[in-house]
Amino acid sequence: MAEFTMELNDEQKEVRDWLHGFAADVIRPAAAEWDEREETPWPVIQEAAKVGIYSLDFYAQQYFDPTGLGIPMAMEELFWGDAGIALSIVGTGLAAVGVLANGTDEQIGTWIPQMYGDADDVKVAAFCSSEPDAGSDVASMRTRAVYDEAKDEWVINGTKTWATNGGIANVHVVVAVVDPELGSKGHASFIIPPNTPGLSQGQKFKKHGIRASHTAEVVLENVRIPGSCLLGGKDKLDERLARARERAKSGGERVKNAAMATFEASRPAVGAMAVGTARAAYEEALEYAKTREQFGRPIIDNQGVAFQLADMRTQIDAARLLVWRASWMAVNGKPFTAAEGSMSKLFASETAKKVTAQAIQILGGNGFTREYPVERMHRDAAIYTIFEGTSEIQRLVIARTLAGMPIR
């Protein structure tokens, strides 16, 4: 087990500086344009693929860093550049992690390369869980997968919503109900291969922030996929369902919710994205406060401004510490006895909203315009308290964990 450390090692510093360079030189200069266009920034993703940032190898390397700091450090730097573009770069990772976590070696080897494509022909992937009537309440999911034994095929019907890269993805990972009696224990994940008939993009959402990231509905009408597209395989699913039915029958013994453990481990990464946006806005505000003069002196000479900056920086550093702690715990298999993953996401996302609003205030009228990036950063920051579980859901998870109550 790696000791918890707040100091990046030389190799990590090198990676951080390399990512920061890409964020500063490639992502940030393109941010305003793609925000206005509200389209996936394919040329930027391609640039990221060329230098090796858009690839499974890169994320796997960061993910398996035993200090736990690889992923949060990478997310912070990329999202410092721009949240919408960075989400377009890392969004495929959400689907890839779904396959890595539940897939067989063969499924991992077959599908993950098709999610990324290559630098000459980049592809993206989508992870589709949320539905119009199943957001925070995942158990009310309705998308249904039925096994056609005669053909060894699964038939999927339903509508997914809010899918990052939904409809434009080469590979979609879809969560569907296989046994409606079992609530969230009766769900399974499926690969929908490229160009499968019956899958189409529904509404593409026009959003408040992260507008360079594509978000859309995904409609599944009699989508037929081979049995081999069930992640983990049929035998494993049957065993899992049999265990869940047994437990439901005996009404007894609560099992640790594996999905919740996964969320605890993935939420710090969203916290790190929020830290990146917050830091970017803070740096803009600090620079502005040092150079903007009113009443014959820089505005930072006023305690009213300086104290805001002091609070902003303190909260960003506190958020990063929570994120790093939770990431270290996840990588080193520490139990999340106080929902530390949720804590980190809650605090970092609320900090990003607050800090970006303060940055607008410090820039005055300029902060309110699209001539300065803090306006975009404030719009972008709003997403962190919503996706991967809203702030209310994080509080619910933390409170229930502290109380020793089940989280469904």
- Closest approach of Cβ 61 to ligand FAD, in Å? 23
Longest dimension (CA), the chain: 82
Q: Which residues are CB-contacts of 296 (< 8 A; sequence separation ≥ 6)?
A: none
CB distance 85 to 29 below 8 Å: no
Q: Which of 124, 163, 343, 397 binds ligand FAD (CB under 6 A)?
A: 163
Least distance to ligand FAD, CB of residue 231, Å: 15
Angstrom distance (rounded) from CA 36 to CA 40: 11
Q: Applying CB under 6 A, does 159 fall inside the site for ligand FAD? A: no
Instruction: Candidates 86, 99, 124, 128: give the one binding ligand FAD (CB under 6 A).
Output: 128
**Cα-based angle 109, 115, 118 (whole degrees, multiple of 5):** 95
Question: Catalytic one among 47, 264, 350, 388?
Answer: 388
Active site annotation includes 375:
no
State which of residues 181, 371, 392, 406 lies at the interface with ligand FAD (CB under 6 A): 392
200 or 314: CB nearest ligand FAD: 200
Joined together, the tokens standing for residue 95 give 């689907």
Please tell me the count of residues contacting ligand FAD according to CB under 6 A.
Answer: 21
Mask: binding to ligand FAD, 74-103, rule CB under 6 A, as x and -? --------------------x---------
**Residue 127, interface with ligand FAD (CB under 6 A)?**
yes
How far from chain centre, in Å, is Cα 174? 16
Residue with smaller CB distance to ligand FAD, 94 or 97: 94
Nearer to ligand FAD, 45 or 285 (CB): 45
Interacting residue with ligand FAD among 277, 387, 397, 398 (CB under 6 A): 387
- Which stretch, 20-28, 67-75, 227-235, 382-390, contacts ligand FAD (CB under 6 A)? 382-390
Binding residue (CB under 6 A) for ligand FAD from 115, 260, 383, 397? 383
Cβ proximity to ligand FAD, 94 vs 343, nearer residue: 94
State the catalytic residues.
388
Residues of this chain that interact with ligand FAD (CB under 6 A) are 94, 127-130, 135-136, 162-164, 207, 210, 215, 383, 386-387, 389-390, 392-393, 396
